[in-house]
Structure 1
Amino acid sequence: MTDANLDRRGADRLKAVLAPLGVAAAAGAVFAVVGTIDPNQPGNYPTCPFLWATGLYCPGCGTLRTIHALAHLDPVTALGLNPLALAMVPFLLFWWGRWMVNAWRGRPRRTTLAHPAYLWAFLAMVILYWVVRNLPFGVFLAP
């Protein structure tokens, strides 16, 4: 392989990983901002529109405070605020890592995130979580 081919291959790899690196940078920026600006203080962030309109918690309620707790290395508090969001972190890291490795290796992007059965099961789990956290016996899931 010539030096020109090696240089081209390196440039192609760098170009391929720009998207996953951009997502990582954006996630890091969100993590830094939410870790710095406390969502527990009134007025720092808007109220959840679903909570405001209905008085019920959505599946995402408590996620900002969960991120803030994780930024301050407090996983116990994070678990109490939104266990679903905390449980999603390893999956998101896995998918991002797989995307990064495949981009680095020059493999084509997959057009599907996961098998449809897994996505439907996840959707059902989110809806169940949404309902249960608003019932009297599910108060432990409320933020």
Structure 2
Amino acid sequence: MRDPHQDGSWGFCPLYAATGLYCPGCGGLRAVNDLTHGDLAGALSSNLLVVLAVPIVVWLWVRWFRRAWQTPQPPGPQPRARTRELVGIDVRLLAGTVLVVATVAFTLLRNTTFGAWLAP
């Protein structure tokens, strides 16, 4: 079994190899490995963004799984899904925008001296 904490054991990040900059996924494998071994502090130091994303991804997966196993819809045209709005803003658009902005901010911050603690 390979240990993702050893340099080069699972390859390398092409962005880091080419530019010396950390991408938002750098340290993600180490973070997941630390989480599966119960080391939350190690996971947080490897990749904070991945650790924050895991509960959201699990929640979305459970939600999808529950909907997939519900009573099947009758054949024919389906009613159009309602757009969920929050104060006139589409929630899906807002969530996507927040995700992109947070990922870009995380990437920029972890490559500065001020945010060096976010680097893997």
TM class, shorter-length = 0.7 to 0.9
* Structure 1: runs of 5 or more not aligned: 1-35
Q: What amino acid is the match of 1:60?
A: G
* Structure 2: runs of 5 or more not aligned: 74-80, 82-90
Which residue in the other structure is 1:65 paired with?
30
Which residue in the other structure is 1:80 paired with?
45
Q: Deviations over 1:63-99 (max 9, x none)?
A: 0111111121101100111010000011000100000
1:125 aligned onto 2:102: yes
2 CA distance for matches of 1:51 and 1:63? Answer: 14
1:41 Cα deviation from its structure 2 partner:
1.9
Q: Percent identity?
A: 38
2 CA distance for matches of 1:67 and 1:61? Answer: 12
1:89 aligned onto 2:66: no
1:105 aligned onto 2:70: yes
Q: What amino acid is the match of 1:115?
A: R
From 97, 114, 120, the counterpart of 1:137 = 114
Q: Deviations over 1:102-142 (max 9, x none)?
A: 0010467x8xxx61121011101100000000001000100
Q: What amino acid is the match of 2:42?
A: T
1:43 aligned onto 2:8: yes
User: What is the root-mean-square deviation of aligned Cα atoms in Å?
Assistant: 1.9
Which has a greater percent of helix?
1
From 112, 115, 119, the counterpart of 2:92 = 115
